[in-house]
Amino acid sequence: MERKLDLILEHLGIQLDATEFDVILAEVPPTHKISVIKTVRELTSLRLKDAKELVESAPVLLQTRSPLEKATTIKRHLEEAGAIVTITPHL
């Protein structure tokens, strides 16, 4: 299990010594915009208007200074909705 995590982190370019990560909503294909807006609302509790503006302004920093587990969970949910998401170590 740990080996798989190491491979995933290496593939994503994430160093293990980082403890805080930023989640970036990089791109939202037009065909998935509505589902991504719904997911953003669920993850952030934003109002519909605010979530829509956030999604339409991609690329945008969605979450900052998150533990790796939370960042990967957010990424997974957004990717399931159709978004392109990146996780970077917080600098």
Q: Which fold has domain 17-89?
A: Ribosomal Protein L30; Chain: A, (3.30.1390)
pLDDT in tens, 2-55: 677 767 777 776 655 678 999 999 999 999 999 999 999 999 999 999 999 999
Residue of 21, 88, 85, 19 whose CA lies nearest to 58: 85
Angstrom distances, CA of residue 56 to CA of 24, 27, 52, 78, 91? 13, 9, 6, 14, 25
Strand 21-27 and strand 84-89: the pairing is antiparallel
| Token code pair at residue 90 | 């917080």
Q: What is the pTM of this model?
A: 0.78
